[in-house]
């Protein structure tokens, strides 16, 4: 029998539920610096992935913010700072997020 990764093996690129072809998941997003007991606006969001991320995660256009809480922020952040191997901070230099409203952060082309 030939050695190597067989079709259907969990390490094969098209294996459902695992293996090489599984994209990372964005598992948490939190508004930065939200004062307790206050309704304010902010311009940064921390995001956490379920695995160590590479350099593509620092490209702002790989992230889109949407939802009623987006307020006057542009669609993509101006800066992406690495906080740890799995955590990043998305920062906008202008505009304001509406606190108390929902936002969705969509990450694409990150690995």
pLDDT digits (tens, 9 = 90+) for 38-70: 334 588 888 888 888 887 889 999 999 999 989
What does the DSSP 8-state code read for residue 95?
A: -
Neighbour tally for 55: CB within 10 Å: 9
Rounded CA gap, 46 and 30, in Å?
Answer: 5
Phi, psi of 44 (to 5 degrees): -135, 145
Cα maximum dimension of the chain: 66
- At residue 36, the pLDDT reads 40
Name the pTM for this structure: 0.69
| Joined tokens for residue 15 | 């294996």
% of the chain surpassing 70 pLDDT: 66
């Amino acid at each position: 029998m030939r050695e190597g990764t067989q079709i259907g093996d969990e390490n094969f690129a098209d294996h459902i539920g695992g293996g090489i072809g599984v994209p990372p998941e964005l598992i948490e997003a939190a508004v930065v610096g939200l004062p307790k007991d206050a309704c304010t606006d902010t311009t940064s969001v921390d995001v956490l992935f379920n695995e160590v991320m590479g350099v593509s995660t620092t490209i702002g256009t790989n992230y889109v913010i949407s939802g009623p809480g987006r307020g006057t922020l542009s669609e993509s952040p101006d800066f992406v700072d690495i906080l740890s191997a799995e955590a990043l901070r998305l920062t906008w230099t202008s505009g304001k997020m509406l606190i108390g409203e929902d936002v969705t952060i969509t990450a694409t082309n990150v690995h």
